[in-house]
Amino acid sequence: MMRAFQVTEPGTIQPIEKEMPAIQRADEVLIQVKRVGICGSDLHIIHGSNPMAVYPRVIGHEVAGVVEAVGSGVTEVCLGDRVVLEPICSCGECYACRIGRANVCEKLQVYGVHRDGGCQEYMVLPVRNLHRLTDHVDISEAALVEPFTIGAQANWRGGVQKGDVVFIIGAGPTGLCCLNIAKAKGAICIISDLSEERLAFARQWGADHTIHAASVDVCAEVLRLTQQMGANIVIDAVGSPTLVEDAVHVASVAGRVVTLGFSEQPSQLTQVDMTKKELTIAGSRLQTDQFPQVVQWFNDGTIQPGEMISHHFPMEEIQSAVRLIENEPNRVRKVLLHVNE
């Protein structure tokens, strides 16, 4: 038997004992889970505000571990390798899958949401859902690969290129991952937040300009900073309906607006703003094919995510970790659970 933490129903997280998983197919790998990052979407599952979640559920989709055993057909990873989980499973047949956009598969299943995730000592996974890191990547930092793939996807959806001006709304973990990758691509980055603490960290992490949204007219400031051009790419990493309106307003001609939020409230957008500037408005959900590039950036040191981790807890203290994130969001960047040392 092994230890796991399960959200039995909204509002209740409980330690449970689970059967040790066993390899059943040639393409499967047994991993010992080492670290799991806690993300906003985990909190939604805990509180019952993620309509996609199915209960009871072992949460955790930001997972780093070590290979314990491999199926007979596995050649990509070996015993002892450090690996990260690519948490999406797709049908391979629907329109999205056929055009290489498996992240929005009609039958999408995500580990930690629709299937049991990383808050358990061991997992058996198809090898195609695992990516190998070199041994010098710290195992705690490895758990951040998944959130960085979210940032990579948003940059890809926005077509961010060297020299572009990127305005990121929100300097939470998601906005910071978008920032780090936009900087790696050679963009000029403006980022806004309501929290001075989060903006201070964003500056330390390479933001060229920060905007304190609680005290400044954000749209006017973006236009001022860009000599009235606006931002070529605006990434909404907050997800409130009025911010999409701001994003369309401050996007430059031929600009791209990328949305990451899941708000069900309508935004007021006028056609003229979109047509006149010929804007592209792109949703960005999870990621497609971003793991190899992000893993390479972790391996070669292009991304050095260590400072993004603000807290560590043993898995047994998941409740305290959740309370900390909820009570002191501005002190927290990424919280990691240690499942096995």
Ligand X SMILES: NC(=O)c1ccc[n+]([C@@H]2O[C@H](COP(=O)([O-])OP(=O)(O)OC[C@H]3O[C@@H](n4cnc5c(N)ncnc54)[C@H](O)[C@@H]3O)[C@@H](O)[C@H]2O)c1
CB atoms within 10 A of CB 303: 25
Distance (Å, whole) CA 176 – CA 191: 9
Residues 29-68, one symbol each (x = binds Zn ion by CB under 5 A, - = not), give ----------x-----------------------------
- Is-contact 256 161, C-beta < 8 A? no
193 binds ligand X (CB under 6 A): yes
Nearest to 192 by CA among 158, 173, 216, 156: 216
Q: Which is nearer to ligand X, 126 or 172 (CB)?
A: 172
Minimum CB separation from ligand X for residue 290, in Å? 11
Residues 69-108, one symbol each (x = binds Zn ion by CB under 5 A, - = not), give ---------------------xx--x--x-------x---
Q: Which is nearer to ligand X, 82 or 103 (CB)?
A: 103
Nearest to 143 by CA among 118, 126, 111, 122: 118
Residue 170 interacts, among ligand X, Zn ion, none and using kind-specific CB cut-offs from 5 to 8 Å, with ligand X
Minimum CB separation from ligand X for residue 40, in Å? 4
∠177-178-184 over CA atoms, to 5°?
Answer: 90
Distance (Å, whole) CA 34 – CA 327: 26
Residue 123: burial class (beta carbons within 10 Å; 0-12, 13-18, 19+): buried
- Is-contact 169 236, C-beta < 8 A? yes
56 upstream amide cis, omega within 30 of 0 = yes
Q: Which is nearer to ligand X, 120 or 210 (CB)?
A: 210
- Using CB atoms, what's the residue nearest to ligand X? 172
Task: Report CA-CA distances (Å) from 284 to 103, 157, 190, 205, 266.
Answer: 9, 6, 19, 23, 18
Instruction: Identify residues 151-190 at the interface with ligand X (CB under 6 A).
Output: 169-175
Q: Which amino acid is at 230?
A: G
203 binds ligand X (CB under 6 A): no
Residue 94 interacts, among ligand X, Zn ion, none and using kind-specific CB cut-offs from 5 to 8 Å, with Zn ion
Minimum CB separation from ligand X for residue 1, in Å? 33
Q: Which is nearer to Zn ion, 157 or 209 (CB)?
A: 157
One of 61, 131, 157, 198 touching ligand X (CB under 6 A):
198
Residue 263: burial class (beta carbons within 10 Å; 0-12, 13-18, 19+): middle
Residue 91 interacts, among Zn ion, ligand X, none and using kind-specific CB cut-offs from 5 to 8 Å, with Zn ion
Minimum CB separation from Zn ion for residue 110, in Å? 10
Residue 195 interacts, among Zn ion, ligand X, none and using kind-specific CB cut-offs from 5 to 8 Å, with ligand X
- State the number of binding residues for ligand X (CB under 6 A): 26
Q: Which amino acid is at 13?
A: I
Minimum CB separation from ligand X for residue 110, in Å? 10
Instruction: Identify residues 37-76 at the interface with ligand X (CB under 6 A).
Output: 39-40
Q: Phi first, then psi: give them for residue 38, nearest 5 degrees.
A: -100, 135
Residue 92: burial class (beta carbons within 10 Å; 0-12, 13-18, 19+): exposed
One of 120, 149, 284, 288 touching ligand X (CB under 6 A):
284
Instruction: Identify residues 238-257 at the interface with ligand X (CB under 6 A).
Output: 238-239, 243
Residues that bind Zn ion (CB under 5 A): 39, 90-91, 94, 97, 105
Residues that bind ligand X (CB under 6 A): 39-40, 150, 169-175, 192-195, 198, 213, 237-239, 243, 260-262, 284-286
